[in-house]
Amino acid sequence: MSRIILASQSPRRQELIGCILSDFEVIVSEAEETLPDGIAPVDVPGYLAGVKAQAVAAEHPDDIVIGADTVVILDDQVLGKPKDADDAFRMLRSLSGKAHTVITGCAIIQDGRMTTFADHTRVEFYPLSDREILDYIATGEPFDKAGAYGIQGRGCVLVKRIEGDFFNVMGLPVARLKREMERVGALPQ
């Protein structure tokens, strides 16, 4: 029987996939996340999810592998994880008082076939003071998160409203992933 492997080191994704599966393994992808020239920002998370899943599936071809990647897009620019506190400040300042899009791409590989999809959620921030931004950065929370915030943590106080899947913003659109896994036969319906 095939194992289901999550190709992600994200503790949030590991927690969220537990809403679908009680039995899965985590194998972190060591793939280099290099983007091809000219890739559109909206295509980045699906592409990177596929790269991660393919790297793990190459070592575990008899198993079902799930990869995921999340990006924040503001004004057609991808905001990844901040490099340092200054980068986090710059990102949060740019998000202040504006709406942005969070896209999580997912890839499911089974029997050598890959299915990908991406889920989009619109997130609007309140206007933020420099003090609010600095206080949030001081928590340490922004440093391992796309766009320098975590909606499920202390970053929730930055968010005015969302349109779409809350869990997508956390890093895994659980309900859609379940349905896609059922559709491709990776889960019984």
Positions marked active-site = 69
What is the SS3 string spanning 69-110? EEEEEECCEEECCCCCHHHHHHHHHHHCCCEEEEEEEEEEEE
For residue 74, the Cα-to-chain-centroid distance in whole angstroms is 15
Which residue(s) pair with 73 in the sheet? 78, 101
- Tokens standing for residue 169: 């913003």
Q: Which CA distances in Å does 149 have to 1, 19, 112?
A: 39, 23, 35
